[in-house]
Structure 1
Amino acid sequence: MKPQSPPPWPPVTAQATPEPVATGPAPARARLPRLLLRAARWTAVLPWRALKALGRGVRACARALNAPTGRLGVQVALTVLALAGTLAAGWLLVPGAGPAWSFGTEPSAQTEEAPLVLAPEDAPVPGLPAETDPVDGATTASPTDAATSSAAADLDAWARSLTHLGISERALLSYGRAELLSDFQNPGCNLSWTTLAGIGAVETNHGTTGGNRLQADGTTLTPIIGADYQEKGPMQFLDSTWETWKADGNGDGEYDPHNIDDATTAAANYLCHDGHDMTDPADWYEAVYSYNHLDSYVRQVFDRADDYGRKSTA
């Protein structure tokens, strides 16, 4: 029996090729729900994360404050903030205050005051001298005796004649008496009362500064004490200078810088020391400059002394 041949394979038929499946990124419209979901989740946990970060910061600050360096740092920071706040408030309230450099401008240079230069003909006008009648035995009498003798009546009349200068009669008596005493104590000095009056005017307005006044005995109603160096009295003596030049100008046995008689006599002795001749402009300038080392001060004294001299001789 003939073997049977295997049946033929079924015919191969053409099959449709499947379309390729897209493997690229999904369209944005398809990704949008996932992005929104992630954003919602992140937004939901954001407050919790912020609270955790804040808690960590608070705990770190607490640990830092417990350390010495931390406390110091906090104090420095608070000080800087307070200073910055004060400066800012000051600038807002007073914008024009503060140094020029803080506004971007440089300060303009100020003209320096030229020192007072006295030519030989520029000495202060001495004014009417405190002349009195000659005193018997004046060459042998003590200075105080000469100044407080019967010639005091002439000195009183002289003082009354000059009250138009704006100086009290009591202060004028003291300036005139000091000129007379200086003639005995400092021969050759030629000190005029106008220089003493110029100093008294600049220092304390003849003992009247701050509403003060001279009493009948020559002391000020209340003590005059300088604010800067504790200078004392109508002529403003430092304690150390007074101890060197103190004087008894009225013969009461006391040395009181608050008494104008004592103070003007001491000032006359101070101005005349070192052989100063007050009619010599160079000596006059040197003497007054030694009283207060400022050219502006010397100029003020010169102007007042010269004014008193001119008005007293007019």
Structure 2
Amino acid sequence: MNTQMTTKPHERLAAYLSEDMQQVGALIRERMASEHAPRIPEVTAHLVEAGGKRLRPMLTMAAARMCGYSGPHHIHLAATVEFIHTATLLHDDVVDESAQRRGRPTANLLWDNQSSVLVGDYLFARAFQLMTEPGSMRVMQILSNAAATIAEGEVLQLTAARNLETDEDIYLQVVRGKTAALFSAATEVGGVIAGADDAQVQSLFAYGDALGIAFQIVDDLLDYQGDAKATGKNIGDDFRERKLTLPVIKAVKRASDEERAFWVRTIEKGRQEDGDLEQALELLHKHDTLSATREDALAWTAEAKSALGALPDHEVKDMLTDLADYVVSRIS
């Protein structure tokens, strides 16, 4: 059997970038150290070493390589992206009162909320130190803007997630903030550091933006039809946490008065009872919103692949095309 066909796209990308990834890992371990606060590396290592795909830093390195970069600074930028991502995960788990991530207890559960928040702050600070080292003002603008956009998206989600007036436009605004902003920044800075022209940099941004949106839509969909062993999440976690994600937004739009009253009670007011998750799933299937959400994810995947058209022919380009398809294949 052809190994190319059986290996997942992110695994092929990781193999291609293996030497770079080793340098990123070494830099992350170096910069997450703290002489005076040993809890910082303890908490950080729990998440960093948890077996995540490190997709975002790989996107930075892939974009740089595809655009012909041969210097050292894509390593710094990839580590920056991973630190920003890890910091947001630490903060998210506190906000969401999560007990599990990637199939393991969360840092806030093993230590406490204060440690998670403050270590997250430390990683943000480390990220800002790292992003200055390539000496590019444009890179610093992109990554600092992304950090602000992520925070803005998380705050918007606080008010939008349990409000039945939240529509698909607001949902997209939240997703662009909390997820796609770092994907697009990761790909964009890879092109910038490589000296790519403006059209190519914009294409890299568009690819990361569309890929990030598809990724989050799929993640939200998996909450209602995924495999808990594969995702590290239990089916219905978003429902129990009263998160108004795209499948539910579509169901609310199509709901009868009686169905809307159910969503008001369970999502807006948080009065959930035994059997409510099963009823929610029945309504999602009744209005076919899981299939409709999957179609949206496929459309964003197509947009991501289209954005790659303006970029140079390169084996990495093929991997990024396959990666976009793989994001949606998780729900096929």
Shorter-chain TM-score bucket reads under 0.3
Q: Which has the larger radius of gyration?
A: 1
More helix by share: 2
TM-score by length of 2: 0.23
TM-score by length of 1: 0.24
